[in-house]
């Protein structure tokens, strides 16, 4: 996991494979500023908008580090999860938990958990009937699962990639909710596909990116397609289908909104999986 600060001055790297730490670099001075030790692999790193704090996360903890003096500010024990997102105003941090079915809202001023919201509950009876017809997923989760969170640049919308698809929430409604996420204002569905030997069916949207000029959300997932979701109309369409439809687990849109990069896995559920990165002309597709 790699993250560049908003100004481009700092770089944060989250390490795994036995190197359970995050590192903070000053790109202008070309020096390592801080090594942050974690109890597990570092799954997410993000800078606050004014580049005052680096937030790094492992499975069991979130660490807040001052960029000014490279000192640790606080540690929150958050439980099982891997994703974080910081609101553009710098006040709140979001973190998933409990098998991706919970969303914790943390006040960055106090480093305290304000509330924990559940994702939408799913109907077991409806799932079983769909699975028996050979239409739905072959495994059941009692709640929708969060795979990625992000905000629109103005902070008005919370955008989530979930196993069931893309969900867009009004941020003020999320803040005022007591125990569950509100209904999304716009949504699109993941495609259910056969995996492995074909006996299992799954659906997952892994990543999202926001095109603020066109007011469009790009998404990718298990179906091997790049999709767009228009926030104004709710229209969802396919922009790109990769040959062979490998699972796409990561999507990044360039700052000038001219290109995007995808990270894909061919034969994801086989022993000889193949990982590859591709860069695409977004202007030619949009």
| Superfamily per CATH, domain 120-286 | YVTN repeat-like/Quinoprotein amine dehydrogenase (2.130.10.10)
CA distance 246 to 224: 5
Cα–Cα distance for residue pair 254/218, rounded to 1 Å: 12
Torsion of CA 281, 284, 285, 286, to 10 degrees: 110
- Report how far residue 43's alpha carbon sits from residue 201's, in angstroms, rounded to the nearest whole number: 27
C-alpha pair distances (Å), 91 with each of 33, 109, 110, 118, 205: 25, 7, 10, 21, 27
Query: What is the Cα–Cα distance from 87 to 126, expressed in whole angstroms?
Result: 35
Q: Are strands 53-58 and 216-221 parallel, antiparallel or unpaired?
A: unpaired
Q: Is 110 exposed, middle or buried (0-12, 13-18, 19+ CB in 10 A)?
A: exposed
Output the tens digit of pLDDT for each of the chain's 286 residues: 889 999 999 999 999 988 899 999 999 999 999 999 999 999 999 999 999 999 999 988 999 999 999 999 999 998 788 999 999 999 999 999 888 899 999 999 999 999 999 999 999 999 888 888 888 888 889 999 999 999 999 999 999 999 999 999 999 999 999 999 999 999 999 999 888 776 788 999 999 999 999 999 999 999 999 999 999 999 999 999 999 999 999 999 999 999 999 999 998 887 788 999 999 999 999 8
């Amino acid at each position: 996991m790699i993250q560049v600060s908003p100004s481009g001055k700092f770089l944060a790297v989250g390490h795994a494979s036995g190197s359970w730490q995050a590192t903070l670099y000053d790109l202008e001075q070309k020096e390592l500023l801080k090594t942050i030790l974690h109890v597990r692999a570092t799954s997410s790193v993000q800078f606050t908008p004014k580049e005052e704090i680096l937030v790094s996360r492992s499975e069991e903890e979130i660490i807040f580090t001052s960029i000014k003096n490279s000192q640790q500010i606080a540690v929150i024990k958050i439980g099982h999860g891997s994703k974080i997102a910081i609101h553009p105003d710098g006040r709140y941090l979001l973190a998933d938990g409990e098998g991706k079915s919970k969303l914790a809202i943390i006040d960055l001023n106090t480093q305290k958990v304000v509330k924990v919201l559940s994702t939408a509950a799913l109907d077991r009876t409806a799932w079983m009937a769909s699975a028996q017809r050979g239409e739905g997923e072959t495994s059941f989760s009692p709640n929708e699962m969060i795979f990625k969170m992000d905000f629109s640049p103005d902070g008005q919308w919370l955008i989530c990639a979930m196993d069931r698809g893309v969900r867009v929430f009004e941020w003020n409604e999320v803040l005022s909710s007591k125990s569950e996420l509100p209904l999304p204002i716009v949504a699109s569905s993941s495609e259910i596909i056969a995996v492995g030997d074909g006996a299992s069916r799954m659906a997952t949207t892994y990543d999202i990116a926001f095109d603020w000029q066109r007011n469009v959300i790009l998404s990718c997932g298990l179906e091997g397609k790049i999709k767009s979701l228009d926030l104004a109309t709710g229209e969802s369409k396919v922009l790109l289908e990769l040959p062979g439809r490998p699972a796409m687990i990561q999507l990044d849109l360039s700052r000038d909104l001219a290109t995007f990069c995808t990270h894909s896995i061919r034969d994801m559920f086989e022993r000889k999986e193949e990982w590859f990165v591709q860069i695409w002309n977004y202007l030619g597709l949009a």
